[in-house]
Amino acid sequence: MTSAASHLAIILAAGEGTRMKSAQPKVLHEVAGLSLVGHAIRSAQAAGMSHLAVVIGPDRPDVAREVALLAPDATVLEQRERRGTAHAVLQAEALITKGHAAVLVQFGDTPLIRAETLRALAEAVTTGGNALAVLGFEAKDPTGYGRLLMGPDGIEAIREHKDASEEQRRITLCNGGLMALRGDIALSLLKAVKAENAQNEYYLPDCVGLARAAGERVALVEVAEEEALGVNDRVQLAACERVIQHRLREQHLRNGVTMIAPETVFLSLDTELGRDVLVEPNVVFGPGVAVGEGAVIHAFSHLEGASVGAKATIGPYARLRPGTRIGAKAKIGNFVEIKNAELGEGAKASHLTYLGDARIGAETNIGAGTITCNYDGFLKFETVIGANAFIGSNSALVAPVTIGDGAFVGSGSVITENVPANALALARGHQAVKAGWADAFRARPENIEKARKDAAKKDGGA
């Protein structure tokens, strides 16, 4: 492939996606924690396309924001009128004229396309002597797909299903939609496309016939059917999710991660799992998770926007929310929720705890039922706990508050003031014991009558 600086990728993301039946544009629906258009952008970036344009529909600031977030240098263009795919590509005419070696057309709803496939398409027109390169696949059921009609030196034509003869409909080699155009001929081909169809639209596949009529060759770049899968409805969205989850699981397994039941583990595209990580069944990794070597993620845990240190243990039934940083060899047990908090090396929160907006030192133990009271209804506040501290069970730490190194907090305390290092803090009511009170309570007439009625109801229902 020639220098990446001479390649332009144009992502078409202007479709309305009515079959999604959603208030959200189709290209913002997610697969593996990333939007559909994000997958297309990521593939183009990985393929080395340094010039990127995304064509969006009118009045879609939400799509424009997503593009700006993922590719700040990309050019965002609007297709004010939906006049077909060739018309959409021509919204980038000013960029096409800048002399790129290859112009690559992608779609914002095909999230499974690999970077190496994009490179192969570009290479076919920059080094292969072809004017065009078209993505194709062998379909198990070709109904509805455009058929690729092959000749001795490449693709002769693309025949849409409705226009195909019976013999052509038996062809299983189908059009995958993506296309690369040689830079010196791209604009002339696109401008030569006519809207000579019932829809009065300009279709990108017509470039094939135009190139062949000009004596140019059109190459085929063939992929597996699943890679070319596009998303038009929620069923296809789920199908893409299945494919990419399988890819991600296999990738991590081959990189030294153990998954006891891989089919029950759900990963995001950016999930980082170190060597010898053990993942038990029914774990969900949302976006932005990194897990260090030798850590164990027990069953039914959910992690998002969190980092986990080497040899730490998480769960079962733990929830790590964004901003969580767990140190090496730390332990987060069952039914513990952590948000925007840092736990130092060897710290423990073993069960039934909420820690939010907190910094907790190394080797500190957080007892069961402890909560950091970080929100007053308007603002969030921070709890700071030093190293080697001990927080007794069922304690409420009312932020902002600091508990020093080595300090103890007695069980059941409500801590509202700072606790010095190595001090003991107790903040709870004194226990009162009234001997014989229970017997007297039970002997009161109204309680005896209630007990009699309750017994009668029970006997009557037997």
Q: Are 403 and 420 in contact (CB under 8 A)?
A: no
Count the alpha carbons within 13 Å of 240 in the hemisphere toward its beta carbon: 26
**d(Cα 263, Cα 39) in Å, to the nearest integer?**
22
DSSP per residue, 256-299: T-EESSGGG-B--TT-EE-TT-EE-SS-EE-SS-EE-TT-EE-T
DSSP per residue, 125-160: HHTS--SEEEEEEE-SS-TTSPEEEEETTEEEEEE-
Q: CA geometry: angle at 205 spanning 200 and 207, to 5°? A: 95
DSSP per residue, 111-129: TT--HHHHHHHHHHHHTS-
Q: What is the dihedral of CA 280, 284, 287, 292, to 10 degrees?
A: -10
| Residue 215: φ, ψ to 5° | 80, 15
Q: CA geometry: angle at 6 spanning 4 and 8, to 5°? A: 90
Altogether, the residues listed in the chain come to a count of: 462
**d(Cα 146, Cα 206) in Å, to the nearest integer?**
11
Place of tokens 């593939």: 43
b/e sequence 289-304, b meaning 16+ C-beta within 10 Å? bbbbebbbbbbbbbbb
Pair of tokens at residue 403: 């508990």
Q: Are 66 and 28 in contact (CB under 8 A)?
A: yes
381 contact partners, CB below 8 Å, separation of at least 6 = 357, 374, 375, 399, 400
Instruction: Look up 100 and say whether it is catalytic.
Output: no
User: Long-range contacts of range 385-390, CB-CB < 8 Å, 24 or more positions apart?
Assistant: 385/358, 385/359, 385/360, 385/361, 386/361, 386/421, 387/344, 387/361, 387/362, 387/363, 388/361, 388/362, 388/363, 388/364, 389/361, 389/364, 389/365, 390/364, 390/365
Per DSSP bridges, beta strands 51-56 and 331-343 are unpaired
Q: Which of 39, 51, 298, 351 is catalytic?
A: 351
Q: CA geometry: angle at 135 spanning 21 and 185, to 5°? A: 110
Nearest to 313 by CA among 326, 302, 300, 322: 326
Indicate which residues carry an active-site annotation.
351
